[in-house]
Amino acid sequence: MSSRRSRSRQSGGSRITDDQINDLVSKLQQLLPEIRHSQSDKVSAAKILQETCNYIKNLHREVDDLSERLSELLASSDTAQAAIIRNLLMQ
């Protein structure tokens, strides 16, 4: 019995099969631009998980940067322009 299965049973959670894990890893691979476009069809699950973590971290950085730029834009805009931008964001 694998340690994954024994941990699952000990935690009382529902058991996940190797096929389900493989399917989820494959879905993650399709979401990652770096790996999705790679020439090799066979990429390890560990590499896919690592790239997923890196991708999410980069997305967080981009959101933070864009939020900061938007705040600066709103602070420097006149009130009419800022109101228009706020209205667009609320939709």
Would you place residue 6 in the very low, low, confident or very high pLDDT band (cuts 50, 70, 90)?
A: very low
The alpha carbon of 85 is separated from its chain's Cα centroid by a whole number of angstroms, namely 27
Tokens encoding 64:
């933070």
Distance, CA of 84 to CA of 60 (rounded, Å): 26
Q: Where are the domains of the chain?
A: 44-90
pTM for this model (two decimals) = 0.67
pLDDT score, position 84: 86
Start-end of H helices in 1-91:
3-11, 18-31, 33-36, 45-76, 79-90
pLDDT exceeds cutoff 60 at 19: yes
Place of tokens 């991708």: 55
Q: What is the pLDDT of residue 61?
A: 97
Q: How far is Cα 50 from Cα 37, in angstroms, rounded to an integer?
A: 16
Residue with tokens 């890893």: 25
Q: What's the mean pLDDT when you consider all of the chain?
A: 83
Euclidean distance between CA atoms 73 and 77, whole angstroms: 6
Confidence band (pLDDT; 50, 70, 90) for 40?
A: low
Query: Looking at residues 38-66, what average pLDDT do you find?
Result: 90
